[in-house]
Chain A
Amino acid sequence: MIRLEPRASVPPLVAAAVPVGAGVAALALAAVPLMLAGVDVGRAFALMAGGALGSTFAVTETLTRATPLVFTGLAAAVAFRARLWNIGGEGQLYAGALAAVAVGAGAVTLPPLLMVPLVVVAGMLAGALLMVVPTIMRTRFGVDEVVTTLLSNFVVVLFVSMMLDGPLKDPMGGGWPQSAPILAEAELPRLVAQTRLHAGLVMALAAALLVYGLDRFTVWGFEARAVGLNPAAARFAGLRVNATFLRVGALSGALAGLAGVSEVIGLKGYLTTDLSPGFGYTGIVVAMLAMLNPLGVVASAVFLAAVFVGADSMGRALGVSTYIASLIVALSLVSMLVGQMFLTWRVRLGRGAAAAGGRP
């Protein structure tokens, strides 16, 4: 006999096992489409592991891919913790990237020590502004922020496309809709020579630590969690709920904006409308796999980045569509949602557990 009992608290081991289990389950489920595609599943996974982690270069590629995912994952985690559903990470990423090239591609020239912070702040402000608007629309007019942030993604990408056709178009770009390259003073240094790994990773790790500290040790973090658990109770307890939502929204948008900044000044050097293959949306999966823990975000970002990099190299070798990577990402999220069952319920075998509140 199997029965489910509600848990009073979650043992740390279970809390860690659920996301790991979700990742493993996603990979196992991905074996089905791989089999349907007619490839040797064992070989496919071996090629994926090798492509993502098999050499120093592979590891740097994985970490390069993880960098924007840490930012967008933090953006989602911060917002979701307060039950503010920011699904606009993709748009905020592009807003940050647009601000970065608007400021950093020749409009201003300063020494690198000032130039990089200036570009970073511009990108954070752009991302924050883009999330503050839907947040105000929610707190003032009761407009669901999920739909407004989702729709804003399309608007922002079109706006970026318009800018790249117009004022921000690179005059030397041979007619392509791309921005002028950012100045050397605004570029982030490479971390490992002859790889693409750049200092954006250091920024991402610092951001994760800062968000963790904010969440754990400050009143702001406490307020955000209280508002997320029960806005009515938080208001009754004298918390300024709307102000808290605004702070959370601004921080979340700024973090997603940073993803765009770091891609432009660390990796690409200029802006096009295909800067992000859905980093904003993948950030939601990153945050959920991390159970909204800022430090966990780093781990899940590296895992999903490894899936993307590994699937790219496996796909090239075996001729399998690289959409398998997005499929594994989606399966991870779905597995995680199912696996959360083990966080709220405890599975008991046998008859001895007929405690009150048990669910047959």
Chain B
Amino acid sequence: MIEALDVLLTTAFWIAAIRIATPLIYGVIGELVCERAGVLNLGIEGIMTAGAMAGWMTVYFGGSLWAGVAVAALTGGGFGLIHALITVVLGRSQHVTGIGITLLATSGSYFTYRMVLPDVSSPPRIEPFPPLGWDWLQKIPFLGPVIAGQTALTVLAFVLAVLVAWVLWRTPAGLAVRAVGDNPAAADAQGIDPIRVRIAAVVAGSAIMAVGGAFLTMSAFNAFFFEMIAGRGWIAIALVVFGSWMPGKAVLGAILFGAFDAFQVRLQQSVGGAIPHQVFLMLPYLLSIAALVVMSRRASVPKALMVAYVKGQR
């Protein structure tokens, strides 16, 4: 056990932990933007799948890596727009619509992949984002090599997290987003159009989530696999609750989660075959459920989350 804990002090461990956390950071930040505006986005799982597929395919057909990221974000924004039109404009159930978006984006991605690449047996590969590896960075003790081992997309995730936190709490646009998530009628009285703000927030949030999917196919791996998102979207939703809808806490939750996941992989290797491998694979999902139970009571939910806004109606 002591040996297992020693692992926590190695740079290799933290490089892995941050890498595992990165798609979740995109996921929690994107979901948080939607939920802060009052819209639960259960489309996240499918939107991440679509981002993973669209980004990868752009690069596979000769686009640059950053073009792939842009296409992934646009694809995510497109599905976000459908979600927003149905939940915000038409006022339909956010739960059911989100599941519908996930089914649509997932099946659409799988169909497109199979249509474009009908007879590939092993998934074709691309050249993914390389680790930063900057020499000057390597010289900083511990933290330096951990950061240098990441790719540009991980750096972007952290930059986005700070940017989103700044926009939400330090700009009028952010105030508008939080206002329509807490009290859309009051925001409306202040001259903010809740419908427009909510649509914009859902589109922006969905674009961010989709880049989290693209990270998997363009940085963590180099190919697209079916079912590769494997519940990361649902875990991100749990982490938003865990982080009480605060960007900093949510990102911290994602990093803790990444560290736990990296640790269990190493534990699994050291334990060998004594415990069935499925037990380890279950842990992330069980941990997310546990995090929800612990935090749900203390969480400060945006007050108008999951409440459709109809002008002139209470």
Contacts and interface: CB of A to CB of B under 8 A. Distances in A.
B238 A158 contact: no
Q: Which of B100, B101, B118, B238 counts the most chain A CB atoms within 10 A?
A: B100
Q: Which of B93, B101, B115, B235 counts the most chain A CB atoms within 10 A?
A: B115
A33 interface: yes
Nearest to B236: A147
Query: Helix, strand, loop or mixed for chain B's interface?
Result: helix
B167 interface: no
Interface string B203-215: 0000000000000
Given A142-B296, A321-B110, A329-B107, A162 B279 contact: yes
Interface string B87-117: 0001011011101110110111011101100
18 contacts: A36-B115, A141-B296, A142-B296, A143-B292, A144-B241, A147-B238, A147-B292, A148-B289, A150-B234, A151-B235, A155-B282, A161-B278, A321-B115, A326-B103, A329-B107, A330-B103, A330-B104, A337-B97
Nearest to B46: A330
A321 B118 contact: yes
B90 A337 contact: yes
Contacts of B234: 147, 150-151
A127 B223 CA distance: 36
Contact of B103 (A141, A285, A319, A324): A285
A152 B290 CA distance: 12
B1 interface: no
Interface string A275-311: 0000001001100100000000000000000000000
Nearest to A36: B115
B124 interface: no
Interface residues of B, number: 43
B189 interface: no
Contacts of A334: 82, 86, 97, 100-101, 104
Contacts of A220: none
Contacts of A144: 241, 292, 296
B288 interface: yes
Interface of B: 42, 82, 86, 90, 92-93, 95-97, 99-101, 103-104, 106-108, 110-112, 114-115, 118, 230-231, 234-235, 237-238, 241, 276, 278-279, 281-282, 285-286, 288-289, 292-293, 296-297
A321 B238 CA distance: 33
Nearest to B95: A85
Interface in A109-154: 137, 141-144, 146-148, 150-152, 154
A69 interface: no
Contacts of B276: 162, 165-166
Contacts of A142: 296-297
Contact of B108 (A161, A327, A333, A340): A327
Given A33-B111, A330-B103, A337 B96 contact: yes
Contact of B100 (A146, A165, A324, A330): A330
Contacts of A331: 104
In the A-B complex, list the 4 residue pairs whose CB atoms are closest, starting with the nearest.
A321-B114, A326-B107, A330-B103, A162-B278
A36 B293 CA distance: 46
Contact of B110 (A141, A166, A323, A337): A323
Nearest to B86: A337
Contacts of B241: 144, 147
A155 B293 contact: no
Contacts of B282: 154-155, 158-159
Nearest to B109: A323
Contact of B231 (A137, A151, A288): A151
A155 B285 contact: yes
